[in-house]
Amino acid sequence: MPYDPNKDEILKQWHCEETGLAVSIQRYDGGEAKVQIGPRLLRRKDGGQRAPAKAGRLTIEDLLWLYEIIDEVKDELSRLSGPQ
């Protein structure tokens, strides 16, 4: 069965303004909720948004931001995953 982008669902998303890194909780076709790190959503000098780019390697700024939000991400993923 081929991938269908219409079945991809973003349940919650965080975005670091400083580095452009995005972290989200997503689900595909009603399946298990999972954490996605990336893409980078960067802005052009004129203020418009560039095309999304791969997250690639994380900088210390990325890592510190992820550290700040990780408990919120974990709590939200736990809530969305339901009882195990």
CA-to-CA distance for 70 and 80, rounded, in angstroms? 15
> Into how many domains does the chain fold?
1
Q: How many CA atoms lie within 13 A of 72 on its CB side?
A: 10
Residue 28: count of CB within 10 angstroms of its CB:
14
Each residue's pLDDT tens digit, 14-24: 999 999 999 99
Q: Is the pTM of this model over 0.85?
A: no
The range of the structural domain enclosing residue 46 comes to 5-81
Each residue's pLDDT tens digit, 15-65: 999 999 999 999 999 999 999 999 998 877 787 778 788 989 999 999 999
